[in-house]
């Protein structure tokens, strides 16, 4: 699964992942490979990206996420 986490000014993260946890408006949720298509609003918190070797955390103040065909695109605001 591929992910891109972007702000208006730069790319915060890009790469292959196994699992991603998002701070959704109605609670935290996870996306795994072959997840159903979705759009969601994100709230203040951390996006937690996990692959085989490591875990990366990206703090955000708000954003949106789109999941489609094992590709995830996040447009976020940072503090």
pTM of the predicted model, to two decimals? Answer: 0.92
Residue 10 has pLDDT above 80, yes or no: yes
Structural domains of the chain, ranges and CATH numbers in brackets:
2-77 (2.60.15.10)
- DSSP helix/strand/coil, 71: strand
Q: How far is CA 20 from CA 9, 13, 35, 56, in A?
A: 22, 12, 11, 10
Q: Write out pLDDT tens, residues 24-42.
A: 999 999 999 999 999 999 9
Closest residue by Cα to residue 18 from 45, 44, 56: 56
6: which strand partners?
11, 75
């Amino acid at each position: 699964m591929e992910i891109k986490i972007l702000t208006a000014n730069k790319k915060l993260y890009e790469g292959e992942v196994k699992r991603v946890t998002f701070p959704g408006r109605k609670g935290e949720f996870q996306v795994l490979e072959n997840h159903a298509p979705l759009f969601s609003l994100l709230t203040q918190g951390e996006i937690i990206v996990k692959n085989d070797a490591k875990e990366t955390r990206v703090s955000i103040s708000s954003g949106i996420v789109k999941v489609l065909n094992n590709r995830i695109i996040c447009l976020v605001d940072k503090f």
